[in-house]
Amino acid sequence: MRTDNEAAPPPPPAADPAANAVELVGVSKNFGAVAAVHTVTLAIRQGEVLTLLGPSGCGKTTLLNIIAGFEEPTRGRIQIDGRDVTLTPPHLRDTGMVFQNYALFPHMNVFENVAFGLSMRRMPKARIAIEVSRALEMVKLEGLGGRRVRQLSGGQQQRVALARAIVIQPKVLLLDEPLSALDKNLRGQMQIELKELHDRTGLTTVFVTHDQGEALSLSDRIVVLNRGEIQQIAAPLELYRRPANGFVASFIGDINHLPPAECHRYGSDILFRLTPAIELAMPARADLALRDDQKAHIFVRPEHLRIADETGEGRNRVLCQVVTHVYQGTHTLTRVEAVGLGLLQLRIPGGEIIERTPPGSRIVVTINLDEATVLAEA
């Protein structure tokens, strides 16, 4: 609470609706009996990269198409830059879109593909030449204007699609899985380039992907969708550390979902009884309101499981047998069978664990619950 003689705090992040680039209010889309998008309300801030993330068929493309105007919502309305565009056709919405499969015109060269939107807007030819070469420079394709589309690599085609979307200087850039057709290395490189392009242009961007790693590395905020409904909207770190429900916890990053546990308060700890023989403890947390005897689901990241040293005491120790090691360069993903708990995954730095504990070895694993996600059963 602020008193009058204190210095004024910095202004809060804009509550001004004009600061939102896009607003969706109660948007639903049905295809016959399929509810592809279900009552989505979402404000996309000016200049942010917002990612729609979710499994195949969860409604990402449909939602993007609704923003672009290629699909009409069954219910709800859409605003772009403070203007209601629910009934506005796509070419009057000021959005630039890169489609899931690029959709370049194969009979045109690179220049013509990028110039297309400007020609449709009847821009003079000399201006078009300037704008197209500027857009090609932005995506690092300068000098390739005369190339045929089929003489380009996948990554280059992807850049042409990007140039075509940004050349019209849209209010919102809509990218539907633009990197999904690229191999892993090129994909990583294009992720960095997309980020740099965004830094240079400051364009409000809605990015669609089903790849959670890509979403975590590219986004200011992520919207997790499942079956057409928003599950959580949060910044990457918060989404990773504080998933709102079991779907988000399991979808974002690797995680161990332990068997349902019964909770009890014990001093400053909460105890979770997973089986008659296994009880795990964590310090009580303000964000966790659990009643005694309530059932809870615990989700714990592989990096929060450790192999205990033989002499050590310590709590939350579980007897396990090593099943497999998967070496991943900077770390090893180790799968163990925990007595009474089933399969668990550990992420262990380096690779020396592989020789030290071959499959079949008996080890003791400690489970650190300080960072765990605990969800009370409804």
Ligand X SMILES: Nc1ncnc2c1ncn2[C@@H]1O[C@H](COP(=O)(O)OP(=O)(O)OP(=O)(O)O)[C@@H](O)[C@H]1O
The binding site for ligand X (CB under 6 A) comprises 31, 34, 36, 54, 56-62, 100, 210
Residue 342: CB minimum distance to ligand X, A: 30
Q: From 334, 372, 49, select the one nearest 218 (Cα to Cα).
A: 49
Other Cβ atoms within 10 Å of 221 Cβ, number = 18
The residue nearest Mg ion at its CB is 61
Q: According to CB under 5 A, which residues from 105 to 144 bind Mg ion?
A: none
Sign of the dihedral defined by the CA atoms of residues 101, 64, 254, 350, in that order = positive
| Alpha-carbon distances, residue 261 vs 271, 279, 286, 302 (angstroms) | 9, 9, 19, 19
Residue 74 sits at φ, ψ, to 5 deg, of -70, -40
In angstroms, what is the C-alpha Rg of the chain? 25
Nearer CB in complex with ligand X: 99/116: 99
Residue (of 100, 98, 13) closest to 48 by Cα position: 13
- Sketch the per residue contact string, 60 through 79, with Mg ion: x for CB under 5 A, - otherwise: -x------------------
Q: Which does 69 bind (CB under 5 to 8 A by kind): ligand X, Mg ion, none?
A: none
| Smallest distance, ligand X to C-beta of residue 33, A | 10
DSSP annotation of 258: P
Least distance between ligand X and beta carbon 175 (Å): 12
State the binding partner of 164 from ligand X, Mg ion, none, CB within 5 to 8 A by kind. Answer: none
Matching residue, tokens 């964000």: 287
Smallest distance from the beta carbon of 260 to Mg ion, in angstroms?
34
Which of 131/214 has CB closer to ligand X? 214
209 or 316: CB nearest Mg ion: 209
Q: Smallest distance from the beta carbon of 173 to ligand X, in angstroms?
A: 17
Which lies closer to ligand X via its Cβ, residue 229 or residue 279? 229
Gap between the Cα atoms of 188 and 72, Å rounded: 34
**Applying CB under 5 A, which residues contact Mg ion?**
61
